[in-house]
Amino acid sequence: MRIDIISTVPELLASPLSHSILQRAQDRELLEVHIVNLRDYASNKQKQIDDYQYGGGAGMVLMIEPIDRCIQDLKSRNEYQEIIYMSPDGDLLNQPLANQLSMSGNLMILCGHYKGIDERIREHLVTREISIGDYVISGGELAAAVLVDAIGRLLPGVLNDETSALSDSFQDNLIAPPVYTRPAEYSGWKVPEILLSGHQAKIEQWRLEKSYARTKIRRPELIKQIERAEQSDSEENQSC
């Protein structure tokens, strides 16, 4: 998979994309991540990429011309399944969406900055908008790094243990169960006996029960989603 990230502040992306799992994915040639400096597509010597907004108001807006030039240049050299704009009012990033995008081909990610981007870019060039939460940060770079990390770790061959990603929180709409490691007892605090039993079937059942209980307390809306899905499946089976 290839991911091109269009940024006005490419330096912000250097560290998050060059360590740990994402670095491993790139070293194994399972993922290519290219950071594109939007200022390289400015039309004047000052490398101007923003301007005042029509109608007045505080904050500068990224101009349509350099973004269009950049997108068209990238599209002339590669095919992209999605052109994604990181936006606080986009679709909320969750595990099913990360799973879906990890099975895509190449992706292009546009990072906003200042007051945002010319709306015509969203109307005519962007194919998908994604948010990492209901809050505003200074630019789309950190949000893009989160998205790339969520996608990259799911690519086959990236994780040393392929089953690791399958047991992550939210993969089955449940929060992950508690985990423990050595020593089995510390300051009188003990690891649950079931995890030391070696009985894998009972361990998995314990983990499922703990996941369900933890999700019910911390994220009850996820339990409601599971119950609605189960009810829908049941109604479909009865109608067959």
Q: Which long-range contacts (CB under 8 A, 24 or more apart) does 236-240 make?
A: none
**pLDDT at residue number 218:** 95
pTM of the model: 0.86
- Strands 32-37 and 2-7 come out as parallel
Whole-Å CA distances, 182 to 75, 189, 204: 51, 12, 19
* C-alpha span between 94 and 110 (Å, rounded): 19
Express each pLDDT in 19-32 by its tens digit.
999 999 999 999 99
Express each pLDDT in 144-157 by its tens digit.
999 999 999 999 99
**pLDDT at residue number 124:** 98
**pLDDT at residue number 182:** 95
Whole-Å CA distances, 45 to 40, 42, 184: 10, 8, 64
**pLDDT at residue number 233:** 77
CATH number of 169-239: 1.10.1270.20
The CA-based angle 127-128-133, given to 5 degrees, is: 165
Residues of the chain with pLDDT under 50: 163
* C-alpha span between 212 and 37 (Å, rounded): 45
* C-alpha span between 142 and 79 (Å, rounded): 24
Q: 2-152 belongs to which homologous superfamily?
A: SPOUT methyltransferase, trefoil knot domain (3.40.1280.10)
Domain boundaries, the chain: 2-152, 169-239
